[in-house]
Amino acid sequence: MWKTRIIALIFLMLGIFLGSYVYKTEMDGTNPFKLGLDLRGGSYLVYKADVSDVEELDVKSSMDSLRDVIERRINAFGVAEPNVQTETHTLGVDGDEERLVIELPGVTDLDEAVEMIGQTPFLEFKVERDEQTRDAILAEIAKVQESISTEDENIDLENLDIDTELIQKDPYYVATELTGKYLEKSVLQFSQGGVQNGGGLQSQPIIGLNFNKEGGELFETITGENVDKTIAIYLDGIMVSNPRVNQAISGGSAIIEGNFDIKEAKEIVGRLNSGALPIPIELISTSTIGPTLGQDAVDAGVRAGMIGLLLVAILLIVWYRLPGLIAVVALGVYTAMMLWVFKFIPVTLTSAGIAGFIISIGIAVDANILIFERMKEELADGRNLYTAIDNGFKRAWASIRDANISSIISAIILFWFGTALIKGFALTFGLGIILSMLTAVTFTRSMLLSFTDKEKKKNSKVLRTLFKSGLSEITKNNK
């Protein structure tokens, strides 16, 4: 019996220690809870990614690269704990739409948030079109210009006999696979010849580009296939230079000559080094949550949790007496463990996450009730307390296990396929179920058994009183 009591004492001390740690670190601010956007306040941005020029098999890797680039860009501005995620939205007949969801806690100025993301340039390299395609596009453009000059200004292009998709293309250049996705580093350089300025020559700022291994191979292939032709370099859709290729360029290096001044060149270099976007993005939705609203949500969640725990505690103690009191203590240990886990991982708490945590507390209570009701049946059959508790746990375990496993499977599915909001709920819900099983089958069991004696065939009068009431009226055979 001493072994069981020592285990119960260890769990109790662990709960007290973890609870003290959570309280102390929260009060002195050394390790506060990570709060999500809805609780802390900040900006919420949604971008649509243009993957029309990306092969279907490369969409996921391109979106992952986009997310990494945006994260680096935001981190460079010193935003604490940003959350950047990719999502795929099904639009029915229109196909899927790739989106980038960005949460910036503490940044309540939307203009500042949009500028922070928008300053990351999209770098791309284009090669000359073949003459036949170029002439076809120019011919269609000429046809449109002629029609507009002879018809009404509000002419509908769809009613003209033209290829509307064709005239929207660049007649001279076509995009290649080489984009900022493969850029490793950008450096500020100066041309050796310089440009005429007043009485002498002045060095002209240029931008040096160093690609990674894959980008270097692409650049060598592109330059090798376009000798004696020009390659256009675009930043954010604007051509900044189109140097002529004399021979294949190996080594993974290139330069941009765009008649920059020093300040402009430095800004571009800094922006490229923080990450050139691998694919274009378009802002489609913005929202902001003030810190006051977030604090109100935190206060409401804490208040709801405290009231719920208090009501559950009262019900358990009134209905089950000593087992109910032990269940309440077990819930306290479980709550301390969960809050510590939130800080240790750490878990970003949102309103949905707090809801998942509170629901898991209800499931923990449900496990205790199943155990106590099984114990009631054992006591009604005339068994002593030790045997009734031991058998009650064994008989209730199958129901607890199956119910919790099905809940864990649901949490995994929600986390795997859900959006950011759903994932927060699923994570805290799943963690809560796992820890509730641990406390129910170990701590609660050890605490109950520590009040009994395996060798005694009958229960003492004191224990009869403590275990009486809703749990069971100690049977007449045990009086």
pLDDT band at residue 405 using 50, 70 and 90 as cut-offs: very high
**Bridge partner list, 127:** 174, 231
Q: Does residue 299 register a pLDDT over 70?
A: yes
> 394 pLDDT exceeds 70?
yes
Q: Residue 318 has what pLDDT?
A: 84
pLDDT in tens, 145-164: 776 655 555 555 555 555 55
Write down the H helix ranges in 243-384: 262-273, 291-320, 322-344, 351-380
Q: How confident is the model at residue 475 (pLDDT cuts 50, 70, 90)?
A: very low
Residue 478 binned pLDDT confidence (cut-offs 50, 70, 90) = very low
pLDDT band for position 20 (50/70/90)? very high
Give residue-wise pLDDT tens across range 338-386: 999 999 888 878 888 888 888 888 888 888 888 888 888 887 787 778 8
8 A C-beta contact, residue 379 and residue 389: no
Q: With cut-offs at 50, 70 and 90, classify the pLDDT of residue 294.
A: low
pLDDT of residue 365: 85
Give the range among 78-82, 247-251, 348-352 with minimum mean pLDDT.
Answer: 78-82
Q: How far apart are CA 1 and CA 456, in angstroms?
A: 12
Indicate whether this model's pTM tops 0.85.
no
Structure tokens at 308: 């719920």
341: nearest Cα among 428, 405, 471: 428
Question: Distance (Å, rounded) from C-alpha 46 to C-alpha 56?
Answer: 22
Cβ–Cβ < 8 Å for 357, 429: yes
| Tokens, residue 348 | 């970003």
Residue 449 has which token pair? 């058994």
Least confident residue range of 74-88, 228-242, 243-257: 74-88
Residue 272 pLDDT more than 60? yes
CB–CB of 384/478 below 8 Å? yes
Within its chain, how far is the Cα of 237 from the centroid?
Answer: 30
Q: Is the pLDDT of residue 265 over 70?
A: yes
Per-residue pLDDT, averaged over 254-272, amounts to 76
Which pLDDT band holds residue 13 (cuts at 50, 70, 90)?
Answer: very high
pLDDT for 30 equals: 86
Q: What percent of the chain has pLDDT over 70?
A: 80
Average pLDDT over the chain reads: 79
| pLDDT for the residue 477 | 41
Q: Which residue has the tokens 């179920």?
A: 433
Distance CA 15, CA 8 (A): 11
Q: Which domains does the chain have, with CATH numbers?
A: 2-36+290-478 (1.20.1640.10), 42-119 (3.30.70), 124-129+172-273 (3.30.1360.200)
CA angle at residue 358 from 9 to 441, to 5 degrees? 35
What local confidence, expressed as pLDDT, does residue 177 receive?
Answer: 87
The residue that leads in pLDDT, 158 or 304, is 304
**Band of residue 476 on the pLDDT scale cut at 50, 70, 90:** very low
By the 8 A CB rule, do 180 and 275 touch? Answer: yes
Instruction: Yes or no: say if 15 and 339 are a contact pair by the CB < 8 Å rule.
Output: no
Among 167-176, 340-349, 392-401, name the one with the lowest average pLDDT. 167-176
Position 161 scores a pLDDT of 58
Local confidence band at 196 (pLDDT 50, 70, 90 cut-offs):
very low
Check residues 196 and 60 and name the one with the higher pLDDT.
60
Residue 445 pLDDT > 90: no
